[in-house]
Amino acid sequence: MAEILLSPRRARVLFYHKTDPHYGFTNFSPHPVYYNNKRYPTSEHLFQSFKFQLHRPRLAEHIRTCSERPSVAFSEARRFQSEVRSDWKIVNIQMMDRALWYKFTQHESLKKELLATDDAELVENSDKDAFWGVGADRRGRNELGKALERLRTKLRSKPSFKPVCTPSFAGREQNYSYIKQMS
Closest CA to 152 of 102, 125, 117, 109: 117
**177 pLDDT more than 90:** no
Tell me what the mean pLDDT of segment 134-139 comes to. Answer: 97
The more confident residue out of 120 and 6 is: 120
**pLDDT of 178:** 34
pLDDT tens-place string over residues 70-121: 999 999 999 999 999 999 999 999 999 999 999 999 999 999 999 999 999 9
Which residues are CB-contacts of 114 (< 8 A; sequence separation ≥ 6)? 25, 104, 148, 151, 152, 155
Least confident of 95-99, 122-126, 156-160: 156-160
**pLDDT of 172:** 32
**161 pLDDT more than 60:** no
**168 pLDDT more than 60:** no
Closest CA to 140 of 152, 128, 149: 128
Confidence band for 159, pLDDT divided at 50, 70 and 90: low
Cβ atoms 103, 35 nearer than 8 A: no
- CB-side neighbour CA atoms (13 Å) of 86: 1
Closest CA to 32 of 66, 78, 71, 70: 70
Chain-wide mean pLDDT for the chain? Answer: 87
Cβ atoms 121, 148 nearer than 8 A: no
Over its C-alpha atoms, the chain yields an Rg (Å, rounded) of: 18
Cβ atoms 131, 140 nearer than 8 A: yes
**166 pLDDT more than 70:** no
CA distances from 143 to 4, 82, 111, 123, 130 (A): 31, 23, 19, 9, 9
**pLDDT of 6:** 53
**pLDDT of 9:** 84
Helix (H) or strand (E) holding 56: none
**Considering Cα of 50, then 51, then 57, then 60, what sign does the dihedral take?**
negative
What's the predicted TM-score (pTM) here? 0.84
Which numeric CATH code is attached to 12-180?
1.10.357.40
CA distances from 36 to 12, 33, 79, 136, 154 (A): 34, 10, 25, 37, 22
**pLDDT of 158:** 79
